[in-house]
Structure 1
């Protein structure tokens, strides 16, 4: 979680049973390299102790007792002026009202007024409280002031009621935080289209031809692009992976689906990264009904599937074709030869080549070992590393390519 490293997160915790989630969140942020300062309201202390947060962050957690203490000349100003993000999670209806009306009667609300960084809230309250017109008006006011809302989610409440009002889970909150911290990043204002996963070419209504691509590298690229502030469109085949918060997800099942989605998203795009494993072949005919064993072994004839990169290469460079196009070459033999041929024939700016016969990298795994081949003949071999680290390097190279085009 590179864009969390060395960031100063000011975490406000208010009086909700969801305060236990804030402890998990503080731990995750700290493990991600962030410096986390915690402010607990008096009501929050009824659910969780300051010592819990101090144990997880390695830093003193603040309460109203320190409002005029000796931690800083004026504590709330010191905290508010040094933070990269003010996050209030959980945020009760009462705290939403304070923020909307500019009240300042405790350390957290005073600090919120003094803060000069983006503010994010993760609401947590019962269904009726969140839906109440007064709360909804406060939400509207805060949204107009560019306060970022993460949630609330839907589910069962402590009251036993089911509906909207649950604080979103810490893992999802991390995604929202990364999205906000990415604003103004090195790819801010850039439109990046990324494909991910393995296509599924149907044989009949229940069977299809696919490949071993998990989509992990494509999703890592999408997250890294969001972290860098880009406007991301993720074109993905069906997968169990969760798309990064902040990326626009377009589902595509077949090679034809991917082609149509790429062409639609690429107009005006700054970069296209084709990380998806698009089928080279597909059944010539798709059976309208499920093929039955009793009818014997079917004879399946294949034909060439649409070549997405070839179509992109044929687009007019000044109108429809992205400024930078990156391809992937997953090969089991003649890696550099095949990758170089694809780089040239598809008119790519960069191709990422990986040997799929390697046992410690590639399909289904969290790590990758690749070679970057550039149109100018330059090559860069990357040692085994996480797919997210690979993604960050690829995006750094795209940043350079965009500067030079």
Structure 2
């Protein structure tokens, strides 16, 4: 049987950041991932890094590519009523965000882990968790036709909402808090010049839209769509026509359609599991909570979880014992619920809900108008967006 101090399930940002932080502190760890590295890198996910997340990556000495290739955004735009309005993040909060794709960050972390010779086991099969409610947890798995056992002090479940970590916990041991949304996001990745130098969020009676980017010549755009829609129903032409219809005239005029490189539909969900600790098993990132992507919080929450969990393990091994571990769940959940509130608020503000009547629509318009007539309201949103008020 192999042995390590911390066994990490999942080679996404949460798991890889946790592994890097533990390695820096001299704590042995191994990462196990169900999928291949190519499959992990192919996931089209978030692209906004808060200042705290970027600082964490710099602290690890892994920010070279990020600082070279990321775009610095000092504001965002919100389009409604046929006009584009700018929210000055830098002026209101004193901070900016970075546009840097999750797959790029994951590639950086994978490369650094490989260069350091740290064990990462991709394409693991039949993974199971054992005795995490006792003193000697271990994992069983198969890889390349061989059976393996890995003993450890702790298990970190960083394997996402559908992963094995939370599924291994008896449902009676935790509470679920969940809200589903009656729509999804249809996303398209394409090689095209972004129509605006900053992200454009659009509120429209036909539904929400977002023009984001993954660089100066690649866009990632989204449309609110029905949960019953299929990707096959949305040709490239239909997507770009609908996006043009939901944008303000200035942004729409600058948007140039291009063939899609990737197209997918994702449902929106708010979800929190409480607690995030079960004996010697700890959950981090999407394994423990989900936010709708409207607030750009998912990857940043995962990074903050990794930071806090790493510190709990470090403090434990430095002699603080159980008290260090006991703090993690409460500390993380306080931050998670603040981010849930912010993401829910952004989603409610910008989307068209099928059950909205005329009153609801007028209230939504009044909220948007209030936002851009009140510096105090803008400051609250800006501080939430850059993560300043959520930690």
| TM-score (norm: length of structure 2) | 0.29
Write 1 or 2 for the structure with the bigger share of helix. Answer: 2
Write 1 or 2 for the structure with the bigger share of strand. Answer: 2
| TM-score (norm: length of structure 1) | 0.28
